[in-house]
Amino acid sequence: MEQGPIVTVLHSDSVPGADLMARVAGRADVRYTEASGLADALRGAEVLFVYDFLTRAVPDAWHAADRLRWLHMGSTGVDPVMFPELRESEVVVTNTRGVFDTAIAEYVLGQLLGFAKDLGGSLRLQQRHVWRHRESERIVGATVLIVGTGTIGRAIARLLRAAGMTVRAVGRRARTTDPDFGNIGADLLAELPAADYVVVAAPLTPQTRKMFDARAFAAMKPHARFVNVGRGELVVTDDLVAALSAGSIAGAALDVVDPEPLPTGHPLWDLPNVLITPHNSGDFIGWRAEIVTAFTENFDKWITGLPLDNVVDKELGYVPG
């Protein structure tokens, strides 16, 4: 009997269930490994499924990837594996684009409503047993600028537009009459002054790293709120802290931060106008099964020679739209 290809699965404390991986295990030799054993598990492997998609272990183990042909990320972002040796190799990279889109869009809508209705303030008053009547804002008619025009940004745009918001976007190329965003600009600093809310859903690339710095925050309205569901490294954290502390912007909801996890004692923890979540905006109940299913469906295509879904342009660092 001919031996199937070796598929290495990099996991952390959670291992994909045998039932979910059955369609792969029946046609391949599946090796499960944590980061410490990745180099050994990569030798002879043709496929690497990075189920632990926050890991930084792949570059250190790359020297052992002697037969690798395909690397699949269990996330939308592929920045943990965009190191020079992989970019220059012939290894095909795919991601799990689409799985997290709706959940992240719902998270963003929830955060915007939380800001507008001051739900955080209500909770703090309740904890002090204070009954204080206040008025709230409306999101209908407010302008939101979405930075990043991939599938996550588009899902956010559709949901916020349905809620009555005016949606604009910033992407790599300027264009008009986009079905989800309307107008897309290419100059971030030119677009920021018109926004009541700024939502960041861009991939982390050399071009986008630290794109939100002191100049960007200074360009925003004093009443604007900032929401980051992209990557923490898109932001100069010290500049964000300074803008929030000075009242240059009104608030921030951060699902991703730099550094991550946020250290105990970091000033972001205690700012009253900041809400922090632990990089879980897309983690709906059942998401682990969904990312395994996305991999196994792509494996069906790979082993039969069909074109793979969600192939990453390694120069751009994401799947082209």
Mean model confidence pLDDT for the chain: 96
**Which contacts (CB < 8 Å, 24+ apart) does range 27-35 have?**
27/303, 28/4, 28/299, 28/303, 29/3, 29/4, 29/5, 31/6, 31/7, 33/8, 33/9, 34/10, 35/10, 35/61
Q: What is the pLDDT of residue 1?
A: 38
The dihedral through the CA atoms of 154, 157, 161, 163 has a sign that is: positive
Name the CATH superfamily housing domain 6-99+285-304. Answer: NAD(P)-binding Rossmann-like Domain (3.40.50.720)
Of 260, 266, 288, 290, which one is the catalytic site residue? 260
Tokens 């802290």 locate to: 241
| pTM for the structure as a whole | 0.95
Distance between CA atoms of 271 and 257, rounded to whole angstroms? 14
Same fold, 6-99+285-304 and 101-276: yes
Is-catalytic flag, 11? Answer: no
Instruction: Tell me which residue of 248, 201, 195 sits closest to 228, measured CA to CA.
Output: 201
Is-catalytic flag, 56? Answer: no
Block mean pLDDT (10 aa), the chain, length 321 = 84 90 94 97 98 94 98 96 97 97 98 97 96 97 97 98 97 93 95 98 96 98 98 98 98 97 97 96 96 97 97 96 76
CB within 8 A of 243, min separation 6: which ones? 214, 217, 218, 220, 249
- The two structure tokens encoding residue 105: 């869009």
Any idea what DSSP says for residue 267? G
User: Is 108 in contact with 227 (CB distance < 8 Å)?
Assistant: yes
- Report in angstroms the alpha-carbon separations of 29 from 5, 9, 24, 222, 224: 6, 11, 8, 57, 52
Is-catalytic flag, 135? Answer: no
- Report in angstroms the alpha-carbon separations of 189 from 72, 143, 165: 35, 16, 21
Distance between CA atoms of 270 and 181, rounded to whole angstroms? 34
Of 69, 279, 288, 290, which one is the catalytic site residue? 279
CATH of 101-276, one of 3.40.50.720, 3.60.130.10, 3.40.50.2300, 3.40.50.1370: 3.40.50.720
Of 154, 191, 231, 233, which one is the catalytic site residue? 231
How is the chain split into domains, by residue range?
A: 6-99+285-304, 101-276
